[in-house]
Amino acid sequence: MQVFVVILLGFTLSAGSGSISNTDHGNLFYGERAAYLVFMAFHNNNQRCSGTIIEYNWILTARSCLTYSTGVTIYFGMGPGRYSIYVSSSQYVKDNEHLALVRVPLIVSSKGTRKVALPEQRNQSNGYENQWVSHCGWGSTEPTYGKHPNWLQCVNLQIMPNNECGLDTINERILCTHPVSGMSNCFSDAGNPLVTGVYPILVGLSLSKCSPGLGAKFARISSHLNWIREYTAIYH
């Protein structure tokens, strides 16, 4: 994904099940812009994805990121309070076509780390068509696996009606966004959140397929609220 906002990312992996360690290099986020966003380094399958804090003990990400993974190191926050947590695969919930949950030890809310709201149950049929939303992550800047940024990247995208998407396997559980000046999802953008403006609401989660110039495909969060509630008890 190509972008407009950036902050240096310099990770060092922690080890050991359930361990928490300080991260001494780099800042994950630019101010409070994406304090709900986490970077996830999956073990065994070498996947690099994003996740979203939806409650202070739950991270929502893309199911594809967890395939063959034995655990994940998750990086939170910014500034002096940034830290990482290692979580084993026993804390994964992945019986969903598109999404996965990772249970984590209680996250401390701070200026650089906070949860994002989910859509209200009464808005399950809201397609958010034509709304502008924010999309941030660390995906490839070129349609190859080889070139990934050292910086968090963000772009504003507009949600399009599904009948204009032009991608395969589009249904009510998927939403699409218009490409903006060639900027769209690419490799390692899986799990990137799609969030509304002034009062952030998580409306989509990137399924990450590199299709320059085409609409990007996201899991529609409002269609998965019952599944999320079943495991997390989150209800709005």
Q: Which domains does the chain have, with CATH numbers?
A: 20-103 (2.40.10.10), 121-223 (2.40.10.10)
Q: Above 60 in pLDDT, residue 163? A: yes
pTM, entire model: 0.82
pLDDT in tens, 78-135: 656 678 999 999 999 999 999 999 999 988 777 678 899 999 998 887 888 899 998 8
- Compute the distance between CA of residue 81 and CA of residue 107 in angstroms, rounded to an integer: 12
- Tokens encoding 225: 């609220």
**224: closest CA among 22, 54, 1?**
54
Contacts of 222 (CB under 8 A, 6+ apart): 119, 123, 124, 125, 126, 203
State the pLDDT confidence band at 235, using cuts at 50, 70 and 90. Answer: confident
Which whole number is the average pLDDT over 66-77? 92
Encode 186-196: b = buried (16+ Cβ within 10 Å), e = exposed: bbbbbbbbbbb
Q: Above 50 in pLDDT, residue 41? A: yes
pLDDT in tens, 50-70: 999 999 999 999 999 999 999
Q: Above 60 in pLDDT, residue 30? A: no
- Compute the distance between CA of residue 86 and CA of residue 100 in angstroms, rounded to an integer: 17
Which whole number is the average pLDDT over 30-56? 85
